[in-house]
Structures are given as C-alpha cells and as structure tokens.
Amino acid sequence: MSSPVVRERVSSARQLVPLCEAVAMLQLIVYSLLIFLTCLAVFDIIRLCAFGNENSKRRLRIFS
C-alpha cells in the first residue's frame, strides 16, 4: 500500500500538467498577438512611406 505522501505527490503532478498546457496556450496567444501587431506596424510604416501625404512623411522622419 502506498503512503498518503506518495498519493499526494502523484495527485499534484496530475494537476500540474493542465497548468503547463494552460501556460503554453497563453504564451501562444500572446506571441501570436505580438507578431500580428508587429506586422501591422511594419505595413503601416510602408503605407506611410509609399502613399502618405507630406505631413505623415514629416512625422515619420521625426521619429526615425
């Protein structure tokens, strides 16, 4: 027969697996959002450089 301590450790190890999966899912969501926002910023800069008016280009020159 196993002791209560061993049973408690096995039980906590089973609870840890869903927690790791939840953290991995949260990381995936955060990194996907970060990549999306980075692409959005890059395309916005390209749009400003290619099709923007003079005021937008002047603002872009100030920040770079």
Q: Where are the domains of the chain?
A: 4-63
Distance CA(64)–CA(56), nearest Å, equals: 13
pTM assigned to the model: 0.53
2-37 confidence digits (pLDDT tens): 565 555 555 555 666 677 888 889 999 999 999 999
